[in-house]
Copies of this chain bind each other. A is one copy, B any other.
Amino acid sequence: MRDDIRAVLRGQRIETPSWAYGNSGTRFKVFAQQGVPRDPYEKLADAAQVHAFTGVAPAVALHIPWDRVDDYAGLARYAAGLGVEIGAINSNVFQDDDYRLGSVTNPDPAVRRKALGHLLECVDIMDATGSATLKLWFSDGTNYPGQDDIRARQDRLAEALAAVYARLGDGQRLLLEYKLFEPAFYLTDVPDWGTAYAHCLKLGDKARVVVDTGHHAPGTNIEFIVAFLLREGRLGGFDFNSRFYADDDLMVGAADPFQLFRIMYEVVRGGGLGPHVAFMLDQCHNIEPKIAGQIRSVMNVQEATAKALLVDVGALAAAQAAGDVLGANAVLMDAYDTDVRPLLAEVRAEMGLDPDPMAAYARSGYFEKIRADRVGGTQAGWGA
């Protein structure tokens, strides 16, 4: 069995986000770091480091307009030259002054048209880069009861989604993200998986729900949502990160590694460990180094995956069928309590990698190099 597990782990594919390499922060302060990329090319170079040391991060998600370039096909070729490829295209309809009251759900039709235009531009970029995935997150919502009409906003949302969906080509798909709150503080137009799911159902089979692990109300059982969406054939992917409170965007697994394991167990259980589900990271390195932080997150996903694969499914099914509460729980916990770091070290050795990616990256001198080289220019960040 260990051979099979190692094979699965070697083939895992985790996508890192271009924006994680730039500066980020909270509303109170963005702490600038040294060596931060100034343009999408430098972001790709950093992402390529994460892949170089982990071997399982071959794709990089873009964020438009933050990663706007003149020649997207050229950008994709540049990525290929670095050993990575372009992953999901993320739209951004929340950082223009026009979007103060929403984008596709804005009461003003002109703003809605502008927002839709941007979404369609993102599909153009998919065409140009070969990306198969459009990821849509809408910050749309309201801050005060009465501010706008909840239902009318759903109508506007449905209209925009339909227009985008119609534009998708063969082999392209749309992932719709949900989020409980922030930046909207009373109503969010897509606040939960049910809303995203209902819209996807209406759109068609190319529309799927994406689960950001930080976007739920306290107490939400996220692995249930994962299991349910997989059963429905509607899980499109993950935005992985972790949180203790709200959408803290900490490194994956940092806040609740057991939850991450439970999620990965349901992924494995539901046949989700394949290319039809995108495993993306979406985190903010506010105070920690960015590339190292991404490597750590990738490793945390790997560890949770390894543990999930180690669950003795036969023993688990038998205990469950027998109604053996403690026994069934113990089977799951046995896998979780296992130290899988030696197993992953083996997997990395098989892949020709250093068994300790963090140490290898630290030794590589890459950070010292970018810190020295990337002087001047404007550092990339949220909004840049």
Interface residues of A (CB under 8 A from B): 24-29, 31-32, 94-95, 97, 99-101, 107-108, 139, 143-151, 154, 180-183, 185-188, 191-195, 197-198, 201, 216-221, 223-224, 227-228, 230-232, 243-246, 248, 250-251, 254-258, 262, 266, 269-270, 286-289, 292-293, 296, 303, 316-317, 319-321, 323, 325-326, 328-333, 336-339, 341, 358, 382-383
Contacts and interface: CB of A to CB of B under 8 A. Distances in A.
Contact of A147 (B328, B337, B339): B328
Given A320-B148, A329-B147, A185 B245 contact: yes
Most buried by B among A28, A221, A223, A248: A221
B139 A185 contact: no
A102 B347 CA distance: 39
A325 B32 contact: no
Nearest to A196: B194
B244 A321 contact: no
Given A28-B94, A107-B323, A146-B328, A221 B244 contact: yes
B107 A320 contact: yes
Which has the most chain B C-beta neighbours within 10 Å: A32, A286, A296, A329? A329
A246 B244 contact: no
Nearest to A182: B26
A327 to B, nearest CB: 9
Contacts of A333: 145-146
Given A28-B94, A146-B316, A270-B151, A250 B185 contact: yes
A299 to B, nearest CB: 10
A185 B143 contact: no
A303 B146 CA distance: 19
Contact of A197 (B198, B220, B246, B339): B198
13 contacts: A26-B182, A26-B183, A143-B286, A144-B254, A146-B329, A150-B269, A151-B266, A181-B245, A185-B244, A194-B197, A246-B246, A292-B326, A326-B358
Contacts of A292: 326
A145 B232 CA distance: 22
Most buried by B among A150, A218, A317: A150
A146 B288 CA distance: 13
Contact of A383 (B29, B316, B331): B29
A238 to B, nearest CB: 17
Nearest to A242: B185
A358 B339 CA distance: 21
Contact of A101 (B107, B139, B220, B323): B323
A174 to B, nearest CB: 19
B101 A287 contact: yes
Given A148-B320, A217-B218, A257-B336, 17 more contacts: A31-B97, A101-B323, A101-B325, A144-B251, A144-B329, A145-B262, A146-B333, A150-B269, A151-B269, A186-B221, A192-B192, A217-B217, A256-B256, A256-B258, A288-B325, A303-B337, A326-B358
A298 to B, nearest CB: 13
Contacts of A108: 323
